[in-house]
Structure 1
Amino acid sequence: MTGTINDGWISSQGPFVQRFERAFADYHGSAHGVACGSGTAALTLALRALGVGPGDEVIVPEFTMIACAWAVTYTGATPVFVDCADDMNIDVTRIEEKITPRTKAIMPVHIYGRRCSMAAIMDIAFEYNLRVVEDSAEAIGVRPVGDIACFSLYANKIITAGEGGICLTDDPRLAAQLAHLRGMAFTADHSFLHKKLAYNFRMTAMQAAVALAQVERLDDILAARREIERRYDLGLKDIPEVTVMPPRDVLWMYDIRAEHRDELRVFLEGEGVETRLFFKPMSRQPGYYTPEWPSLNASRFSADGLYLPTYTALTPADQDYVTGKIRSFYGTA
């Protein structure tokens, strides 16, 4: 980041944003990267670039971060929710029943770093002539296959710029439209004639420099996180009250399901261990509330799930402390 300051490049201009876009795209095997201000901004740009707007519907998982639904709503379209499967990703077998003549796109989300069944989703998209926007906010390092993949660089993500996001695509026309919408839809001569509604969603050079430094060592970061996953798996096995969840393609957060979860959280907080709850089902959110709430897998996961401290610098001693406290709570220490 000192290079950006020394060279005077602190806004979105200069070489650092482009260097980050190129490095991130290359790492994921994509042709084009368009950086922006957040993961939510990336999702919104992706939907707009694909022409999603008022009157359209977008298939969204019931179990996800609300930013997915909000991005759809920002465009004027309507999110249509599909329950999750046992891996907490969107249940591919339930997608087709939610498709209508208004459906424009599917937004699969790689929950907690587990890759969705993308081959099946792409087959459905092909059959119904739909576009695919991958929410890869929690899956940095997973190669995308949809029309556009959207990543987050928020402070708790696998790599971070504090805030930030990036869209990846293999389509040069989509990349150009993403960049156009990101930068207030300026014309080529940068006159102040703006022909469409757009956004100031640009990433700063300082953010890009911070993110670029981490892309350059992303293999090591992902390997360190795989080791964290392995140690948690070992430390939590054979506790009847704890369900160790399926392996992740990349580790964003180490998630478990636990009996007496709320009491466990209070106990761990008292021992200096911070945890987080699983996502709430979208149909329970005030903005998307559904009075006739069906029985959902998402509700089961939300009721007893939490994730444990997960960051690249987490030490074996830190993990031993966490798993030891959990065993102590359940009387299996």
Structure 2
Amino acid sequence: MTETAANPVPPAVGVQPSIWIGIGLSVAAAGVSWGVGLLVPGLSAMLVAILLGAALANLLPTDHRLMVAARPGLAISARRLLRAGVVLLGLQLVLGDILALGWPTVVGVVVIVAGTLAATLALGRLLRIGATQTLLIAGGFSICGAAAVAGIDGVLAKRKDEEAATAVALVVVFGTLMIALMPTLAFALHLDPRTAGIWTGASTHEVAQVVAAAGIIGPAALTVAVLVKLARVLMLAPVLAVISFRQRSAGLEPGAARPPLVPLFVVGFIAMVAVRSLGVLPPVVIDIAKLAQAWLLGAAMFALGTSVHASVLRRTGTRPVVLAAAATLVVLLLGGLVAFVGR
């Protein structure tokens, strides 16, 4: 065997890693993903970002100069930019609007999130899927899609970027199916706009997917659906606090730092909800924050995507897909129950 065949990729000698290379690459990819999302309605910009990251990771070997130089910045993007995006997500929530839905619907949202989480965690154990992968899928499907996956990933002491990327991809795929399913159910069952809106917001995974699905049903359903979905988003804070507490209570390796009782970015998320609910921010600030949130989460998704290699996908297998399908069915059934009770 020749020397070239034995070592087909030259090592990255003399490469100077820099956090700015990875961060710049992530931010640029987020911009491209956002643009593609605008050009192709219904296409998730977060999914595009993950695919771009996965494409780069699989086209270039891990010891390629660019990958070595970008690695520190990609790690920051996958962690810190992700947390910043979750904090800004709080500015999309107004407590008064959510409470106006009525106590049956608000309580129903808590039941949906808790029930879907519990059922998905139980099914994950039955399918013998890793605890972290199961938790990420459970959070994404029960709360608010990719943002929930990102938030949960941010509080885990032991984490694998490819598991978060897999969970986000599954959320996007099954949530896209809901865009067609929810209007079909609404029209087939002759649902009134409020019932259809509650069911759509209670069952569909991503906020953008809720807007797409409820928009097909009608403007009245859209208004209700978005409010119900934002009520689910609000559940992100207590869920992250519980997960962080459990991480804190779990056995740690000798010398390992104990995670905070409530992560700082969760406090930031709650603070942003409070600020938005007070009504002190002008609309232009809220619009800018929304764009920044999308850009930050897109950058984080790209960084997570660079950890998804073909070999990882082959090892993942079909069990996470089965779990995602089951979680979708659970949230659909619970959402329907709440919709018919709360109408």
Greater strand fraction, Structure 1 or Structure 2: 1
Scaled by the length of structure 2, the TM-score of the pair is: 0.28
Q: Identify the structure with bigger relative contact order (alpha carbons < 8 Å, sequence gap 6+).
A: 2
In proportion to residue count, which structure has more helix?
Answer: 2
